[in-house]
Amino acid sequence: MVDKKRKHSKEIIKAEANSLNFSYADGTQALKKISLPVYENKITALIGPSGCGKSTFLRCFNRMHDLYPGNKYDGEIILHPDNTNILDKRVDPIEVRMRISMVFQKPNPFPKSIYENVAYGLRVRGEKNKRVLDDKVEEALKGASLWDEVKKRLHDLAFNLSGGQQQRLCIARALATDPEIMLFDEPTSALDPIATMNIEELMAGLKEKLSILIVTHNMQQAARISDYTAYMYLGELVEHDETDRVFTNPSKKETEDYITGKFG
Amino acid sequence: MANDKKRVHENNLTLIRSLITKHKKHDHIFAGVGMFIIISLTITLLVLFLDLVFDGYPRFNLDFLTNFPSRRATAAGILSAWIGSALVLIVTFFAAVPLGIAAGVYLEEYAKKNWFSDLIEINVTNLAGVPSIIYGLLALGLFVYSFGLGQTILTAGLTLALLMLPIVIVATREAIRAIPIHIREAAYAVGATKWQVSLHHVIQYSYGGILTGVIIGMARAIGETAPIITIGALTFIAFLPPSPVGLEPPFINFEWLEAGFTVLPIQMFNWISRPQMAFHINAAATGAIIILLTLLMNGLAIKIRYNIRKKIKW
């Protein structure tokens, strides 16, 4: 179905899914033979209608599905450069989550202080040195363009921030542990246009340091921010290519129908 | 034509309005019945409480709290009973709370969901409804005879802990379930282990609910009589258990655990079964104190829950 990989040889592959199947505990097969590369220092966007499996696919990358019994992976996701199959039973999901962090659809800060939210990933890793923590928290908050807004109230409760600030706090939390890949699951769908713009600008800066995989239901967003776009439908990968090409000259009729709004 | 349209419009409007009036009737009826029931219950409790207060009024003085029971009703007090109750509750607290929270966290966070965990769940829920005298019999067989703990404060505390355990477990589980799934996922997503998630998040965000359960459980335990009688608590005690804290090293001792004791409801029971009216006054005063303690504890539970709900809103 997929035109067997138009090679983007200029890119370095950071991670790649190889014929990945996934079924939920109730037996529904949500992903069918997905093969997709995630390129280093690039933003890869996953688009497609609701229920097409894009979030399910994203959540395979940090083994989120392991939290719920009965879910089944089949196939592999190889993380480079060490060629670890992160879906392998012998690979601890915690190791995977320490290398690949995630930002969720709804801002989900902990009911703790702003500082503790950002520091949590480091605390989990056993970091106790106050100076190291302070530095990392500041760096991460700067990386999430939130530092100037919160530097005077780091010990306030995170719930007192606005929705957009909360989401940037969650980005800072995911950033503080220097992940190799960051996963974004419709990060702006609960935000207003200005907060959305802030986060899009933020992501454009983040890709200098890491690789990004983002699920979005907003095609304009995918077109604006991503370098590569993958269109999924009913659990299958229909098309994956450079974003410009997908949006101007898609190779598949289905992709074109979805992008032009004839469908979906 | 225009007139017709207007009439249809007016008809529709009348119809909608009469419909609303009809439906609202249900609101009013339900609100009225609910109000009536609430008020009658509150009044009943209030009358009971005031009755005890008026009956026991002559005994409300410091001597009543600092005197041992006596053959002369006017000289008798509840010193050994309230100290006994307090010591028993300390044992209950330290036995039931850690165990109950641990069990709740285990069942919610660790246990695999299968028929066995369902079975445990049904059992725990049912345990909360088992008549307390059954716990008394269990404790008599297990703690007093099998373990040889005797008829002591330790035995009574552990017995009441059994009674309180299901309440704490159920409260813990409910509080944990109220934590939204996206908060839990956020913690796992940064690489936390189950233990870290339980310790740093689950317990911290649910302690309001847990504390409420603990206090309500304690309020129940303080008034329990049947299981304590079953294990053979004494009814007339004119001495105090050894003090748990001392002035000389090691400052804390545990001899009190092995002492004989009585508790408030038993003291009350004892007085009420005497023929002399004078002792009934003592019983009423004790009853008023027990109710007051229960009300205070439940009030505290409500206050804590309210404060925490204000702080953590998902």
CB atoms closer than 10 angstroms to residue B254: 9
Chain B residues close to A123, C-beta within 8 Å: 200
Using the predicted structure, report yes or no on whether residue B309 has a pLDDT greater than 80.
no
pLDDT of residue B246: 66
Report the percentage of chain B scoring pLDDT > 90: 35
Task: Tell me the chain B residues in contact with residue A120 when contact means C-beta distances shorter than 8 Å.
Answer: 187, 190, 192, 200
CA angle B197, B203, B208 (to 5 degrees): 150
A174–B201 CB contact, under 8 Å: no
Assign residue A15 a region: left if phi > 0, alpha if psi is -120 to 50, beta otherwise? beta
What residues does A103 pair with on adjacent strands?
A184
Confidence of residue A2 (pLDDT cuts 50, 70, 90): very low
> H-type helices in B71-152, by residue range?
79-105, 115-127, 132-139
Q: Is the ipTM of this complex over 0.85?
A: yes
For B171-208, what is each residue's pLDDT tens digit? 999 999 999 999 999 999 999 999 999 999 999 999 88
Distance from CA of B189 to the nearest CA of A (A): 6
pLDDT digits (tens, 9 = 90+) for B268-298: 888 888 888 888 888 999 999 999 888 898 8
Q: What is residue A9's predicted lDDT score, i.e. its pLDDT?
A: 66
Q: Which residue of B has its CA nearest to A122?
A: B190
User: Residues in chain B, how many?
Assistant: 314
CB A43 within 8 A of CB A212: yes
Banded model confidence at residue B79, pLDDT cuts 50, 70, 90: confident
Burial class (CB in 10 A: 0-12, 13-18, 19+), B88: buried
Confirm or reject contact between B63 and chain A (CB < 8 A).
no
Task: Name the residue with higher pLDDT: B70 or A18.
Answer: A18
First to last CA, chain A: 20
> Domain ranges in chain A?
13-259
Q: What is the pLDDT of residue A195?
A: 87
Identify which of B182, B190, B200 has the shortest CB distance to residue A177: B190
Handedness of CA A204, A206, A207, A211 (dihedral sign): negative
Helices (H), chain B: 2-56, 62-66, 79-105, 115-127, 132-139, 153-177, 181-189, 194-197, 203-223, 226-230, 264-272, 277-311
Per-residue pLDDT averaged across B254-269, rounded? 82
Confidence band of A58 (pLDDT split at 50, 70, 90): very high
Task: Mark yes or no for CB contact B191/A125 under 8 Å.
Answer: yes
What CA–CA distance (Å, rounded) separates B262 from B176?
37
Sign of CA dihedral B33, B39, B41, B44: negative
Q: Could you read off the pLDDT of B47-63 as tens digits, one per residue?
A: 999 998 988 888 888 88
Mean pLDDT of chain B: 87
CATH class in words for B61-311: mainly alpha
- Report whether B145 contacts B227 (CB < 8 A): no
Report the pLDDT value the prediction gives residue B98, as an integer from 0 to 100.
Answer: 95
Are A75 and A33 spatial neighbours (Cβ–Cβ below 8 Å)? Answer: yes
Average pLDDT for B289-314: 83
Domain ranges of chain B: 1-59, 61-311
Q: Which CATH number fits domain A13-259: 3.40.50.360, 2.120.10.10, 3.65.10.10, 3.40.50.300?
A: 3.40.50.300
pTM over 0.90: no
DSSP SS3 for B68: coil
